[in-house]
Homo-oligomer: A and B are copies of this chain.
Amino acid sequence: MDDTLRALADPHRRRILALVRHEEMPAGAIAAWFMLSRPAISQHLKVLAGAGLVSMRRDGTRRLYRAEPDRLDEVRAYLDRLWDDGLVRLKAAAEAEQTSKTDGGT
């Protein structure tokens, strides 16, 4: 979830998500919409894929990306719980331990 929210925190990545939300699109076509280098887009796509927000399939030399709605639904569910649920306190404590483990040195 942490990866997902960090991925969503970037405006360029949100634009990419909007582009591929309903139809798959090759990386080059995505990059064409931005005034960034293609490698930059490639790196953004990698972040989005790592967060589970997009999926990829090969088509010859091209790579077609498509949004993954399930992941965003999970974000929505998480935000709902963050607000309404009492369980979040426990989860927050759990994340605290996980933070100190994986995120040992910032």
Q: How many copies does the complex hold?
A: 2
Q: How far is the CA of A87 from the CA of B72 in the complex (A)?
A: 16
A76: interface (CB < 8 Å): yes
B79 touches A93 (CB 8 A): no
Nearest residue (CB) in B for A14 is B82
Q: How far is the CA of A8 from the CA of B21 in the complex (A)?
A: 22
Chain A interface secondary structure, helix, strand, loop or mixed? helix
Contacts of A92 on B, CB cut-off 8 Å?
Answer: 14-15, 18-19
A11: interface (CB < 8 Å): yes
Contacts of A8 on B, CB cut-off 8 Å?
Answer: 5, 9, 79
- Chain A interfacial positions (CB closer than 8 Å to B): 2, 5-6, 8-9, 11-12, 14-15, 17-19, 21, 34-35, 67, 69, 72, 75-76, 79-80, 82-84, 88-89, 91-93, 95-96, 99-100
